[in-house]
Amino acid sequence: MEIERIQLQKHGDSRGMLVSLEQNRNVPFEIRRVYYIFANTPDVHRGQHAHRHLTQLAVPVRGSVTLLLDDGTGPATVVLDDPTQGLLLGSMVWRELYDFSDDCVLMVLADQFYDPADYITDYAQFLREVHGVRYVEGLAL
Ligand code: TYD
């Protein structure tokens, strides 16, 4: 599992702030997709899935959000509220996003195109896959 905070260099002067994201430089992968989450309904929980083969970098461009992260060994929570800090999330991490501030804009860079087949949306299935349980004719091995 890979979960890591990445400090992004802030270029600031009297006019304001600027952060630059560059493929294979401060973003440690090839950027195939960028999406952003905003205008969330109050008290909503998003995510609630893991990815089999996807690395992402989440940057809270504005506002704040809490992430519950679980690599199969138990949950940890991370608050993202600094646009100069990204969170790198590797494959096989269950994630839930909640406590979005009203103004939250969470930008996510990903190393793969959108692929619904890459999602694990059932937590019990995630635990089976992350712990390497194999099934043969309905039997857990
Ligand atoms: P969804 O995966 O439910 O969002 P979250 O995991 O944040 O709760 O995605 C919402 C919708 O957007 C769903 O219809 C799939 C679509 N979508 C794309 O078309 N491309 C993307 O890159 C992503 C992440 C989602």
Per-residue pLDDT of the chain (141 residues; tens, 9 = 90+): 589 999 999 999 999 999 999 999 999 999 999 999 999 999 999 999 999 999 999 999 999 999 999 999 989 999 999 999 999 999 999 999 999 999 999 999 999 999 999 999 999 999 999 999 765 556 665
Does 96 fall in a domain?
A: yes
Q: In the Cβ-directed half-sphere of 57, how many Cα atoms lie within 13 Å?
A: 26
In a domain, 101, yes or no: yes
Residue 59 maps to a domain: yes
The two tokens of residue 24 are 């294979």
Q: Is the pTM of this model over 0.90?
A: yes
Nearest to 127 by CA among 50, 51, 54, 72: 72
* Ligand 1 binding site (Cβ under 6 Å of any ligand atom): 33, 35, 37, 46-47, 49, 114
Spell out the residues 6+ positions from residue 11 whose beta carbon is closer than 8 angstroms to its own: 17, 18, 19, 20
Q: Is residue 21 one of the residues assigned to a domain?
A: no
Distance of CA 3 to the CA centre of its chain: 9
Number of independent structural domains in the chain = 1
ipTM above 0.90, yes or no: yes
Q: Which of the residues are catalytic? A: 49
